[in-house]
Amino acid sequence: MAEQVKTSTTSTVAGQPLSSVPLVKSATAQIQAVPLPRRLAGGRAWGIGAIVVIGALLPFALQNFYIFQLTLAMVYAIALIGLNMLVGYNGQVSLGHGALYAIGAYIAAILMNSYDWPYWLSVLPAGVVCLVFGYFFGLPALRLSGHYLALASLALAVTTPQVLKHKALEQWTGGFSGIVLSKPEVPFGLPINQDQWIYFFVYAIMLVLFLGAYNLLRGRIGRAMIAIRDQPIAAEAMGINSAIIKTSTFGVSAFYTGVAGALSAIVVQFVSPDSYDFFLSITLLVGIAVGGFATISGAIYGALFILLVPNFAGELSKSAPWAIYGVLLILVMYFLPTGFAGFVRMIGQRLSAMFTR
């Protein structure tokens, strides 16, 4: 950790010395980012490059069912990075991101179903609608903190499925029964099957969004978000416009979650009000807690976790996945406050320390 601080103080961004970034942990803020080095070390860049290449080759090595599962994991990863921006980096707890995911999924599904938009064109509008919605939900959220924000967003999560079922919207949403969509065709006569094509479609979007998140969170705005989380008053005193940063973070976070929702509608080809209940919001929160608050790689670990654990635990009992989720959530908060990403990083640092000595 000391090494990382050293590397980061040498560079400046936008004329602002980085030493002013509150990397020093306050006594109360124990769960927070393990700060990343400013520039990727050579080995890390190679590692990420290798993972990207393996990710592109995987669909040729796996059966269709596993391709589908991995595609879903990537969709979750996009939602998790969005939620983590808000909760992990900015310190605003949302129990309502399941609602945003639902809105994204329904916007995309309605555009495809009622207005005959092609699937690839419906993703962006879904994200933009969520961005606007998130921004406006972020306005009252400015006056709420901690428990109160969690409460308000909890109410949002509970209300959304009821709204989706409502009669007035039934001609678009399909009411209780939801909307069934058709599976996207492979374009340009490519020699791959539909599942592989959907995988690549989601994969490309995920890479773009992760790159965007990386640049946003590692840059000036990301540091402002962290500063507001750790020392709101000091951040304001340093000239950070806390209101704009907080509402925009809510908006961007909602955009990511909305895009993920839209992609989920394309991947699963079905939306219904009951797939987006309060427990979806909890699932997303579990994902970032297990993956690691305020980490980017944590989104991948978290997504694999929320996808795989119910599969394994479901064999034990029907209600077991949730019991295991809950217990793991508490245990992770206690033993691994930086999540799996923090754990991996710690192991990595131990190993490199061993070899450089």
Partner 1 sequence: MDALLHQIFSGIASGGIYAGLALALVMIYQSTGHINFAQGEMAMFSTYIAWELIDYGTPYWGAFFLTIVFAFAAGVAIERLVIRPFHNLPVIALIIVFIGLLVVVNSTASWIFGTTLKTFPSPFPSEPLWNNHYISNHELGSIGVVLIIVAILFVFFRYTTLGLAMRAVAENPISSRLVGIRVSWMLALGWGLAAAIGAVSGMLVAPILYLDSSMMGGVLIYSLAGAILGGLDNPWGAAVGGFIIGIMENVLGAYVIGTQLKFSVALIVIVVVLLLRPAGLFGRTVVTRV
CA gap 70, 133 in Å, rounded: 29
327 binding partner 1? (CB under 8 A) = yes
User: CB under 8 A: which stretch of 10-18, 75-83, 161-169, 199-207 binds partner 1?
Assistant: 161-169
329 binding partner 1? (CB under 8 A) = yes
Tokens of 172: 């678009």
Q: Which is nearer to partner 1, 59 or 161 (CB)?
A: 161
30 binding partner 1? (CB under 8 A) = yes
Decide: 125 and 133 in contact? Cβ < 8 Å. Answer: no
Q: How far is the CB of 319 from partner 1 (least distance, A)?
A: 4
Decide: 50 and 32 in contact? Cβ < 8 Å. Answer: no
* Alpha-carbon dihedral 136, 141, 143, 145, rounded to 10 degrees: -170
User: CB under 8 A: which stretch of 37-45, 147-155, 183-191, 195-203 binds partner 1?
Assistant: 147-155
CA gap 57, 34 in Å, rounded: 31
Of 73-112, which residues contact partner 1 (CB under 8 A)?
Answer: 87, 91, 93, 95
Q: Which is nearer to partner 1, 41 or 238 (CB)?
A: 238
Q: Which is nearer to partner 1, 125 or 232 (CB)?
A: 232
158 binding partner 1? (CB under 8 A) = yes
Residue type at 45 in one-letter notation: A
CA atoms within a 13 Å half-sphere pointing along the CA-CB vector of 161 = 18
Would you tell me how many other CB atoms lie within 10 Å of the CB of residue 204?
Answer: 11
Q: Which is nearer to partner 1, 74 or 141 (CB)?
A: 141
* Alpha-carbon dihedral 156, 157, 163, 164, rounded to 10 degrees: 150
24 binding partner 1? (CB under 8 A) = no
Site map (CB under 8 A) of partner 1, residues 181-220, x = contact? ----------------------------------------
Handedness of CA 254, 34, 154, 324 (dihedral sign): positive
238 binding partner 1? (CB under 8 A) = no
Phi then psi dihedrals of residue 248, to 5 deg? -65, -40
Residues that bind partner 1 (CB under 8 A): 27-31, 87, 91, 93, 95, 140, 143-148, 150-152, 154-156, 158-159, 162-163, 165-167, 233, 278, 282, 285, 289, 293, 317, 319-323, 325-327, 329-330, 333-334, 337
